[in-house]
């Protein structure tokens, strides 16, 4: 669905404050995958998210979305229908004072007939578990509920890929869990491709594949076994997921634990065994 080849991106090129945000990044996101993109602040994660849907163009290298180059301006509309991005702050993503109008904003801009818009709004709100709030106002909702409305707004466009750029960062643990539950369900049941940008390793542990970014370069990637590579994770300025950290320290003390352990349930299972 998304392919980057040797991508370099430079902010303010030629100016005194020139900054190379990405250097020679090659990566791909397959259809139906749930990928976590992790890295310290400033490692280039948001720059990648903006490249994914053609908000910015690479300085060199190529970004291809479902076969379309993001530098092909005639394809930009289709690219943005294909890759939907949810950002960090839900308050900046609300455009209307009634929830259903807010969620309808995207499909309206696609010029869809009103019956289909209404259907999509229904489906999107149901998908995030906010169906009964359709006629309500977003302003009194909790952070987690607001972010779910923002996700519904992107869902209503029916993108094939959903990119969440630290979309849980401003939420409390309950709100984070609500959003993660919705995202995992969309990936598993609706087969939506998900790219989850996060610095919460416990969220990254829910993904099928993890890509670690460090100083604008891919420092490593792999399945959950990547959390066995403590040096890699820590050199990227990150922490292991809590369950993986406890498992690593128990193993160092000689406790035998079977299998990959990244989730609390897996740690509990291994300890019981
Ligand atoms: P992350 O999302 O991982 O925190 P970003 O992609 O936002 O990282 O930033 C990567 C690097 O590019 C950082 O050093 C950041 O300071 C710089 N940067 C990001 N946006 C801009 C901008 N609009 N102008 C100049 N530099 C920027
Ligand atoms: Mg960022």
DSSP lists the bridge partners of residue 3 as: 28, 64
- Which residue's CA is the closest to the ligand 1 atom numbered 12? 21
Determine the pLDDT at residue 258: 87
Determine the pLDDT at residue 92: 81
Closest among 141, 145, 155, 139 to 95, alpha carbons compared: 139
Kindly give the distance from the C-alpha atom of residue 202 to the centroid of ligand 1, in angstroms, as a whole number.
24
Per the listing, tokens 């005639």 go with 74
Contact residues for 156 (Cβ-Cβ < 8 A; gap 6+) = 103, 104, 106, 107, 117, 120, 121, 123, 124
**Measured CA distances, 15 to 46, 58, 171 (Å):** 21, 18, 36
Kindly give the distance from the C-alpha atom of residue 25 to the centroid of ligand 2, in angstroms, as a whole number.
17
Contact criterion met (CB below 8 Å) for 205 and 260:
no
Which of 8, 17, 19 maximizes ligand 1 atoms within 8 Å of its Cβ, making it the mutation to test the pocket? 19
* CA–CA dist 37, 13 (Å, integer): 26
- Ligand 1 binding residues, C-beta < 6 A: 11-12, 19, 21, 39, 41-47
Beta-sheet strand order (sheet of 161-165): 83-86, 161-165, 193-197, 34-39, 209-214, 217-222
Name the percent of the chain in helix, strand, coil, to the closest 5.
45, 20, 35
Residue 149 sits at φ, ψ, to 5 deg, of -65, -40
What is the number of the ligand closest to the CA of 38? 1
* CA–CA dist 74, 271 (Å, integer): 56
What's the sign of the alpha-carbon dihedral 59, 63, 68, 70?
Answer: negative
Per the listing, tokens 């291809």 go with 64
- Which residue's CA is the closest to the ligand 1 atom numbered 5? 44
Residue 168 sits at φ, ψ, to 5 deg, of -110, 0
Q: How many CA atoms lie within 13 A of 101 on its CB side?
A: 9
From the CA of 17, give the closest atom in ligand 1: 25
Kindly give the distance from the C-alpha atom of residue 179 to the centroid of ligand 2, in angstroms, as a whole number.
18
- Which residue's CA is the closest to the ligand 1 atom numbered 16? 42
Residue 5 in 3-state DSSP?
Answer: strand
Determine the pLDDT at residue 140: 86
Kindly give the distance from the C-alpha atom of residue 151 to the centroid of ligand 2, in angstroms, as a whole number.
18
Contact criterion met (CB below 8 Å) for 42 and 57:
no
- Which residue's CA is the closest to the ligand 1 atom numbered 24? 11
What is the number of the ligand closest to the CA of 41? 1
Kindly give the distance from the C-alpha atom of residue 170 to the centroid of ligand 2, in angstroms, as a whole number.
13
pLDDT (tens, 9 = 90+) of the chain, 273 residues, equals: 999 999 999 999 999 999 999 999 999 999 999 999 999 999 999 999 999 999 999 999 999 999 999 999 999 999 999 999 998 887 888 888 999 999 999 999 999 999 999 999 999 999 889 999 999 998 889 888 999 999 999 999 999 999 999 988 888 888 888 889 989 999 999 899 999 999 889 899 999 999 999 999 999 999 998 998 989 999 999 999 999 999 999 999 999 998 889 999 999 999 998
């Amino acid at each position: 669905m998304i392919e980057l080849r040797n991508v370099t991106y430079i902010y303010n090129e030629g100016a005194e404050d020139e900054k190379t945000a990405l250097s020679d990044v090659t990566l791909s996101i397959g259809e139906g995958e749930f990928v976590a993109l992790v890295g310290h602040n400033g490692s280039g994660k948001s720059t990648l998210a903006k490249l994914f849907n053609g908000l910015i163009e690479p300085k060199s290298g190529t970004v291809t979305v479902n076969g379309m180059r993001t530098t092909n301006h005639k394809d930009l509309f289709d690219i943005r229908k294909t890759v939907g991005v949810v950002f960090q702050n839900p308050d900046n993503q609300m455009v209307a004072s009634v929830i259903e109008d807010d969620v309808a904003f995207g499909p309206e801009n696609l010029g869809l007939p009103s019956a289909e818009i209404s259907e999509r709004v229904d489906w999107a709100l149901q998908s995030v578990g906010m169906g009964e709030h359709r006629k309500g106002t977003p302003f009194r909702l909790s952070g987690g509920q607001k972010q779910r409305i923002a996700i519904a707004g992107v869902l209503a466009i029916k993108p094939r890929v959903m990119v969440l750029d630290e979309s849980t960062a401003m939420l409390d643990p309950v709100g984070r869990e609500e959003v993660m539950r919705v995202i995992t369900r969309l990936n598993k049941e609706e087969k939506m491709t998900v790219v989850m940008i996060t610095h919460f390793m416990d969220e990254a542990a829910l993904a099928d594949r993890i890509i670690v970014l460090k100083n604008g370069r891919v420092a490593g990637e792999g399945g959950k076994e990547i959390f066995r590579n403590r040096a890699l994770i820590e050199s990227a300025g990150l922490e292991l997921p809590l369950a993986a950290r406890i498992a690593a320290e128990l193993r160092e003390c000689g406790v035998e634990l079977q299998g990959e352990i990244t989730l609390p349930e897996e740690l509990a299972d291994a300890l019981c065994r």
